[in-house]
Amino acid sequence: MLSHLSQAALFRIEAWFNSVFGSNNPLYHLGSLGVYFFYIMVVSGIYMFFYYEPTVAGTYNTLQYLTDEQWYLGGVMRSLHRYAADAMVLVMILHILREWVLGRYRGARWFSWVSGVPVLIMVYIIGIEGFWLVWDKLGQFLMVRTAEWLDWLPIFNSTMARNFLSETKLTDMFFRMLIVVHISLPLFLQAFLLLHIKKVSKARILPPRMLALGTLASLLLLALVLPTVSQDRADLSLEVGILQLDWFYTFFYPLMESGSMGIAWVLFVCSMGLLIVLPWLPPKRQLKRAKAVAEVSLDHCNGCGYCAEDCPFEAITMRSRSDGEAHSQMAVVNADNCVACGICIGACPSSMPFQHVQVLKSGIDLPQRNVQHLLEATHEALAPLTGSPRILIYGCDHGVDVERLSQPDTATVSLPCIGALPPAFIHYALRHGADGVLLTACRYGDCYHRLGDVWLRSRLNAKRRPFLRSSVDRSRIGLCGAAAPDQQHLRNALATLRQSLHESPRKHDDFLDV
């Protein structure tokens, strides 16, 4: 129930964002936005480093100079650094919540989910240490409370918090050490980010250009209208009074302030532990691995490599054949990475329904939903069609339930991903009883299996093999992006295609995109 409600809420919010941003919907680019904000922090941080003086007296004065005397550039850079750091935390949290709501963290996706936990921790460590380097009242508060929090663990010989009892215990060397650590940690963060996307093919590192420019412009406007300023200078001889907390990074510290260091540790360990084990907790709705993994048929594999090129999760590699066949390469499936999306079937040239064989075979296939099953489902859907125009809908399991659109003149076939549809099946359906074919994927830019809708569109436009034959009348084909609650949108697309088929044909190479 919670899953359905949260998905319904998410889809409604995303639909509103789509109406505002179109293909640049930031909710579809949360991961790449996080990396983008990281790069903004790196660039702005490098500029600030050239002015920063890592001494007890100089650290606060340096940032005051950048903010007050060089507000037109240094102050802007400081504000960009701060706001990009906050924005990175925001998109990371939204990214985690969205993947959880959509269930994109189980099965073969567990590695990307689990490897994201150290990324989250590292971002917080770097951010909190950045507040220390300002050395204002907020930096003092965070440094002392962090030391007390670490002191609660019985692993240190001396109490770290004692080092912050008076100004005389702080040295310039301490701040030099902090700046070195602050520069070094982003290198480790970069390594963790690369590890995070290790099993993701063609990962989107940066957001679309218009979204990137719009985001940067928004940050610049915020930096000019509401510049980042330091609070009062730190003074260890005085108790910290009222503070303006940055809740993106310091939401945890009020609990420490109450003295509940043990509770804070329990919450931290339990929350991080829950994130790590979440992919293996019930309820599990994944197919059994023995049934889910794609299998290669060497008798029908010609070593073209299209399946390896199109796989969204690096589950397929090409290796040299050793069986004496004429083809030099063969596809090999890594079972740990396969998510059973079937995109490899749609990419295989052997997935050709026009073959005169008793059982249709493909070079790579899913045992539980193979290309022969797709051919039989197509025949079963076309056979009872009556009326005019007769339309066959190929849909996606993760989009609208296409069976609800079945009518005497409309038949439906659902696939694990629309990218699993070999283009030849569109031609086959049009040759065997369908007046038109409607293809429905997830919402554009948000394929559940990442690239299915992209590859389908490229195959229809003859930009990616296997192509849809040039002889196929594109005016009889419709393409619609629709998430699970977008049934009315799909009905409208179906009505549009039906009306188009009633009217005079449009340009031959122009399929209906709604």
pLDDT tens by residue, 391-421: 999 999 999 999 999 999 999 999 999 999 9
Same domain, 244 and 341: no
pLDDT, greater one: 161 or 436: 436
**Domain assignment of residue 199, yes or no:** yes
Which domain, by its residues, includes 350? Answer: 289-513
Please check whether residues 77 and 113 belong to one and the same domain. yes
Number of domains observed in the structure of the chain? 2
Kindly state whether residues 358 and 264 are assigned to the same domain: no
Question: What's the pTM value of the predicted model, to 2 decimals?
Answer: 0.93
Residue 192: pLDDT above 90?
yes
Same domain assignment for residues 454 and 311: yes
DSSP string, 254-300: HHHHTT-HHHHHHHHHHHHHHHHHGGGSSP--PPPHHHHS-EE-TTT
Domain boundary among 279, 313, 337: 279
Strands 436-441 and 477-481: parallel
Mean pLDDT of the chain: 92
Residues 312 and 240 in one domain: no
Please give the Cα distance from 105 to 111 (Å, whole number): 8
Mean pLDDT over 40-53 rounds to: 97
Return the higher-pLDDT residue of 242 and 124. 124
Residue 463 falls within a domain, yes or no?
yes
- Assess if residue 18 is contained within a domain: no
Q: Which two tokens stand for residue 409?
A: 């003149």
Dig out the tokens for 242 from the structure. Answer: 């009222």
Task: Average the pLDDT over 2-12 and give the result.
Answer: 89
489 within a domain of the structure (yes/no): yes
Of the three residues 279, 311, 333, the one that is the final residue of a domain is: 279
Domain end, chosen from 232, 259, 279, is at: 279
pLDDT per residue as tens digits for the range 437-486: 999 999 998 999 999 999 999 999 999 999 999 999 999 999 999 999 99
What DSSP element (H or E) covers 441? strand 436-441
Whether residues 273 and 311 share a domain: the answer is: no
Closest by alpha carbon to 456, among 370, 1, 464, 248?
A: 464
Q: Comparing 166-170, 346-350, 364-368, 502-506, which segment has the lowest mean pLDDT?
A: 502-506
Q: Using 50, 70 and 90 to split pLDDT, how confident is the model at 167?
A: confident
Are 304 and 448 in the same domain?
Answer: yes
Does position 430 have pLDDT exceeding 50, yes or no?
Answer: yes
Q: How many CB atoms lie within 10 A of CB 44?
A: 23
Kindly tell me if the per-residue pLDDT of 285 is higher than 60.
no
Whether residue 4 is contained in a domain is answered as no
The dihedral through the CA atoms of 340, 344, 350, 356 has a sign that is positive
Statement: residue 140 has pLDDT above 70: yes
Report if residue 5 sits inside a domain: no
**Distance between CA atoms of residues 17 and 23, nearest Å:** 10
Give pLDDT tens digits for 345-401. 999 999 999 998 999 999 999 998 999 999 999 999 999 999 999 999 999 999 999
